[in-house]
Structure 1
Amino acid sequence: MDDYQTCPKCKTTKYRNPAMVLMVNACGHALCESCVELLFAKGSGACPECKCPLRRNNFRVQLFEDPAVDKEVDIRKRILKEFNKRQEDFPTLREYNDYLEEVETIIFNLVFDIDPAGTNKMIDNYKKENKDITQKNRNRQSQEEMELEELLEAEKAQQSEKANLYVNAELEEKKQKHKAREKLIDELMFSDADAKSIVASHVQATAALAKEQPKAAAAQPSSGVVKSSKFSSGVQIGLRGQHTNSFLPIPKQEDLPLYRYTAPVFDYDGPPPPAIEKLGKLNYFANIRAANITERAGGYTEAMSCCRALQEALGGLFYSPQLTHKTAVLATNSSTQDTDDMETT
């Protein structure tokens, strides 16, 4: 879609000039960068479409395909910079919602050019009446942004420390393994002891070293300190002076038993259906649609649907409600008799 973006003045498109950069002015109409330079060659200019007087510093690079979206984003940023009240500045939630609705109405009027004179007058009156609270909220917002930047810097430092710790742990483990291997080779070459005993002692030493490494890593204190800060919303960020070992290497657990698959046992309450491997030999696929290439690529075969149909057809054929009821009654009577015997005893 970017290839069809066109400058309304020179009619140049992105397809013909891939290096073309569209710029949006305050009124929401777009011009290419070359036309903007020509427009302000004499120091001033007006929009070619709506004849609105413009200034060079009002133009910005178009980010979205529709210039109206860029216009709304710019207006929303400018309005919310002044209308920055928060919920705690209002006595009730209803008044805060009315305030938000009023802000959205102002943005809507400026975006679609509905009574711009009256809307700008409303904005000027708001600036005069709420100058102090606007400045206070700006300072509060800048303080929160600074705290957020400090938090991000602390997180980057922790990530860097974590990466260095991983690298150092891997290097140390490789060094220990290399030394142990060299020691084993030297003992096998120059020692008079039995080779099996030497290998067995080497295996024990390696296992003991593997168990000691996680303990040594956990004993190292962390130097990462996160500054404590709290936003106006009540969110607590970080804890000063609290060390964390959450980024230490996870100890290896080699003694856990391996997972073994156990085939499930199905009680069909009927005759057992043929195995899925025998369906083709018994010519069960004659009346079933064969799987196409796309279905086979996903792992589906006609044997699956045939086996499922046979399971549903044969399942429950031996089910008898009378026998089930009699079995339940006998089991209940037996448990009751056992209880009575125990009470008598």
Structure 2
Amino acid sequence: MSDLACPRCKTTKYRNPDLKLMVNVCGHSLCENCVDLLFVRGSGSCLECSVPLRRNNFRLQMFEDSYVEKETDIRKKILKDFNKKEEDFSSLREFNDYLEDVETIVFNLTNGIDLEETKRKVELYKKEHQDSIRKNRAKMSKEEEELEDMIATEREIVENNRNIIQAEINREKKQKLKQKEALIDDLMFSDLPANHIVATHQQEVSSQKIKSSELKTTKFSTGISMGKRDAFLPIKPVVEGKVFTYSPLTIHTAGPDFPPAHDIQNLGYLSHIRAASDQERAGGYEASLACERALQEAFCGLYLTS
């Protein structure tokens, strides 16, 4: 995120941690100050692509890559109209073709491919499917309702926890202030030695901390007590029938056996195989895997007879 910068004023996130990048329909970003300066009259042109823009259409950039931001915005707008579900189609193939058309439209609009034709296609679809679009917008699926309920419940729990934590912080601040004022009063008006007064106050503060820690909750949100190893009941395995035992997989290729791994390494099979890069080796890929695959495909079916 520190590499993010405004293309006009060159301000970076590193120099200004409060930098806010804004994007419009074209997908090119500007910082908030440049937007206010360039679009003071409410409208203007993009500095990079010269597309006419309006000030009220700028929004806060959520992703680092402005291309992703642009694609996300276009996808949201398209899916408001192309909102059919799988149950609206007679077969899975028709539904998959529909999804492929949607992805093609999003890709074309994002990358500026056949813009006019794609826009006409979208407008034609909206005219021909007005009723279904309106019904699907009004109809919310059961899964979406459950998801919204879960999100609302989660937000309420987070808000309650935040209020509890803030109340605890305020209480501790007031308690520390009272202790400080009491210590100052004792040092000013008491006839006892200062070191004795300080030691007594430190002892009282430590005892109050112990009491407050004992009064704090000792259970998780699930109701299970903290520090209990036997909180969960042991699950007894249920075995029905014969216990599974592993046996190596036997591959019938109807052809000769391909060389083992050590022969592939030592007998020159890798001479014409591209070596794996450092990134590929980091992901677990080796050139010998490609060689083994090629040999399997070459030998497979050589002994097959009709």
TM superposition score normalised by structure 1: 0.43
For the pair shown, the structure with the greater C-alpha radius of gyration is 1
TM superposition score normalised by structure 2: 0.48
